[in-house]
């Protein structure tokens, strides 16, 4: 079946529907949802029952880059600075040094067991060197897996921040394969430029985006997520144009926004959470359509060797070297080693050799596909079991919510207060977003001139407004009073 402008919407919507329905029941059988999305794409492809002919790696790469922007940005918005601060350096070490060690060890192994040159082996190693944010985020959250001692923020920080390093190594080693007269040391200036420029512009665009979102006055709430999407792509493309790492910039920009007060934050986070799932489905479907199972079968033997080496040697080696500077129990290091999930990202990166036209591009792509598929099946289906074996899983009732789950939770609050804003209070004339309310506090309604209104971040506080506040605990309520520059004890005594 050929994809045309007339049938693309029908085919696309049917594939989305089938993927969602398959994903709904997948965990009853212990199969990660992302694998179902990929298999739906394969079955719909030219060698499957759908017979959809799709052989466009350039389009697949474009879709992959767009999807990764949404996935990384959504992951950044969900990242709580408070939760990652204690493990920041562990995460950075895993996402830089760990990725490098994985790439070098896998590259050396591949060149040893095959006829790949050392640069071709290093290119394959670089492509599979990062853990996949989409796979880690979706599997950890869908399994609602509670982990001890900051393991979860460490894993999510690593998976969200190591794609930039893998992308850089992929581009660098691809350049060495094409221009083999160049020295390996020539990639060092490129690395410094990518990381420094990407990091600085990421935070810079984050601050600029916050100002734009909070200062601009749009007539419709639904336009704010659209504005953020535009800012996300400006961050990526602008950073890439200036020689920085666009993926790093997008992630850091989102982390900055996620940890600051912005207008309609709830709406934006809900929108990006849904878009991230949509992009994951589209990405895996696209890559499934691009794969020809008959081309993968000849490399299964090599793929098994590479998968076993990566899971049981390269990944543990990279984790132990990366974390040797930090105090951590052995069982926690072992669990981090096991959560080395590869997913769609390596397959997207494997399209770069295809477009460059190097000799072993097709073989690299098929090996990477097999390795990624094996990783998600073997490691993704056993996360809970291994966590229990290593005694790093929390009891069912003690499982913590992710930052986004806490923020978006609409459950019952423990405290409710009616706070009247006196005249000459510092909050008068200010927007709610500028008051820096605690994240666990909600202004449910405002009573103004005997009328009730539902506020949002852009709502300005006026004299004699009565704020109906919902909070989860006494400390959060105290934080509300501090944000309003009111004395909680005095107010409650007057109420009594």
CATH of the domain at 277: 1.20.1530.20
pLDDT at 78: 86
What's the pTM value of the predicted model, to 2 decimals? 0.82
Q: Are residues 324 and 456 in the same domain?
A: no
pLDDT at 159: 83
Q: How far apart are CA 99 and CA 80, in angstroms?
A: 23
Q: How far apart are CA 152 and CA 380, in angstroms?
A: 15
Q: 2 in a domain, yes or no?
A: no
Q: Are residues 392 and 413 in the same domain?
A: no
Inter-residue contact 165 to 184 (CB < 8 Å): no
pLDDT at 135: 65
Q: Are residues 341 and 468 in the same domain?
A: no
Does position 26 have pLDDT exceeding 80, yes or no? no
pLDDT at 29: 47
Q: 3 in a domain, yes or no?
A: no
Q: Please tell me whether residue 28 adopts helix, strand or coil conformation.
A: helix
pLDDT at 404: 47
The DSSP annotation for 89-134 comes to HHHHHIIIIIHHHHHHHHHHHHHHHSS--HHHHHHHHHHT-SPPHH
Last residue of a domain, one of 376, 400, 424: 400
CATH number of the domain where residue 424 is located? 3.30.70.1450
Q: 365 in a domain, yes or no?
A: yes
Q: 455 in a domain, yes or no?
A: yes
Q: 275 in a domain, yes or no?
A: yes
Q: 1 in a domain, yes or no?
A: no
Domain count, the chain: 2
pLDDT at 268: 92
Inter-residue contact 52 to 40 (CB < 8 Å): no
Lowest mean pLDDT among 128-142, 178-192, 293-307: 128-142
Count other Cβ atoms within 10 Å, centred on residue 204. 17
Top mean pLDDT of 42-56, 75-89, 225-239, 321-335 is at 225-239
Q: 253 in a domain, yes or no?
A: yes
Bridge partners for 469 per DSSP: 417, 443
Q: Are residues 353 and 448 in the same domain?
A: no
Q: Are residues 382 and 416 in the same domain?
A: no
Q: Please tell me whether residue 419 adopts helix, strand or coil conformation.
A: strand
Last residue of a domain, one of 373, 400, 427: 400
Bridge partners for 453 per DSSP: 446
Q: Are residues 394 and 414 in the same domain?
A: no
* pLDDT-derived band at 174, boundaries 50, 70, 90: very high
Does position 311 have pLDDT exceeding 50, yes or no? yes
Does position 12 have pLDDT exceeding 90, yes or no? no
Q: Are residues 206 and 180 in the same domain?
A: yes
Q: Are residues 434 and 395 in the same domain?
A: no
Inter-residue contact 159 to 133 (CB < 8 Å): yes
Mean pLDDT for the stretch of residues 103-114? 96
Count other Cβ atoms within 10 Å, centred on residue 321. 17
Q: Are residues 50 and 110 in the same domain?
A: yes
Where in the sequence is the domain holding 481, given as residue range(s)? 409-495
Q: Please tell me whether residue 317 adopts helix, strand or coil conformation.
A: helix
Q: Which two tokens stand for residue 422?
A: 């006196």
Q: What is the pLDDT of residues 357-396, one digit of tens each?
A: 999 999 999 999 999 889 888 887 788 888 889 888 876 5
Mean pLDDT for the stretch of residues 91-114? 95
Q: Are residues 321 and 449 in the same domain?
A: no
**What radius of gyration do the chain's Cα atoms show?**
25
Inter-residue contact 418 to 468 (CB < 8 Å): yes
Burial (0-12, 13-18, 19+ Cβ within 10 Å), 66: middle
Q: Are residues 425 and 367 in the same domain?
A: no
Inter-residue contact 282 to 19 (CB < 8 Å): no
Last residue of a domain, one of 370, 400, 430: 400
Q: Are residues 209 and 99 in the same domain?
A: yes
Q: What is the pLDDT of residues 64-73, one digit of tens each?
A: 999 999 989 9
* pLDDT-derived band at 24, boundaries 50, 70, 90: low
Q: What is the pLDDT of residues 394-426, one digit of tens each?
A: 765 445 554 444 444 444 455 788 888 888 888
The residue that leads in pLDDT, 235 or 486, is: 235
pLDDT at 178: 92
Q: 394 in a domain, yes or no?
A: yes
């Amino acid at each position: 079946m050929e994809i045309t402008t007339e049938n693309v919407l029908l085919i696309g919507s049917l594939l989305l529907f089938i993927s969602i329905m398959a994903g709904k029941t997948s965990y009853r059988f212990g199969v990660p949802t992302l694998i179902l999305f990929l298999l739906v794409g394969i079955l719909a492809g030219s060698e499957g029952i759908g017979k959809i002919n799709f052989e466009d790696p350039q389009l697949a790469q474009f879709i992959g880059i767009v999807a990764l922007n949404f996935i990384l940005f959504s992951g950044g918005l969900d990242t709580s600075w408070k939760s990652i601060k204690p493990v920041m350096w562990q995460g950075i070490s895993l996402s830089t040094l760990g990725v490098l060690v994985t790439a070098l060890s896998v590259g050396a192994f591949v060149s040893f067991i095959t006829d790949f040159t050392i640069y071709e082996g290093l290119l394959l190693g670089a492509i599979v060197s990062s853990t996949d944010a989409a796979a880690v985020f979706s599997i950890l959250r869908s399994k609602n897996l509670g982990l001890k001692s900051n393991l979860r923020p460490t894993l999510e920080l690593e998976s969200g921040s190591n794609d930039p390093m893998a992308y850089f190594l992929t581009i660098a080693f691809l350049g060495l394969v094409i221009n083999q007269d160049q020295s390996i040391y020539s990639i060092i200036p490129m690395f410094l430029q990518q990381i420094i420029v990407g990091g600085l512009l990421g935070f810079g665009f984050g601050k600029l985006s916050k100002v734009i979102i909070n200062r601009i006055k749009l007539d419709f709430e639904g336009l704010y997520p659209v504005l953020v999407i535009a800012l996300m792509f400006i961050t990526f493309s602008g950073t890439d144009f200036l020689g920085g790492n666009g993926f790093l910039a997008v992630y850091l920009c989102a982390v900055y926004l996620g940890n600051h007060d912005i207008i309609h934050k709830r709406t934006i986070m809900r929108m990006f959470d849904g878009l991230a799932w949509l992009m994951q489905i589209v990405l895996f479907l696209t890559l499934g359509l691009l794969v020809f199972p008959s081309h993968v079968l000849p490399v299964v033997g090599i793929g098994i060797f590479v998968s076993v080496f990566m899971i049981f040697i390269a990944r543990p080696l990279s984790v132990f070297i990366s974390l040797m500077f930090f105090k951590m129990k052995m069982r926690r290091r072992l669990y981090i080693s096991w959560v080395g999930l590869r997913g769609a990202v390596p397959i997207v990166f494997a399209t770069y050799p295809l477009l460059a036209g190097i000799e072993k591009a097709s073989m690299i792509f098929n090996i990477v596909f097999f390795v990624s598929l094996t990783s998600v099946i073997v490691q993704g289906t056993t996360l809970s079991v291994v966590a229990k074996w290593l005694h790093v899983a929390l009891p069912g009732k003690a499982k913590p919510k992710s930052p986004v789950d806490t923020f978006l939770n609409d459950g019952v609050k423990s405290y409710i207060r009616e706070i009247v804003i006196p005249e000459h209070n510092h909050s008068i004339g200010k927007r709610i977003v500028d008051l820096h309310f605690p994240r666990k506090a909600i202004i449910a309604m405002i009573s103004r001139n005997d009328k009730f209104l539902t506020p949002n971040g852009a709502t300005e506080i006026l004299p004699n407004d009565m704020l109906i506040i919902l909070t989860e605990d006494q400390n959060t309520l105290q934080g509300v009073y501090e944000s309003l520059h009111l004395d909680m004890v005095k107010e409650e005594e007057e109420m009594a």
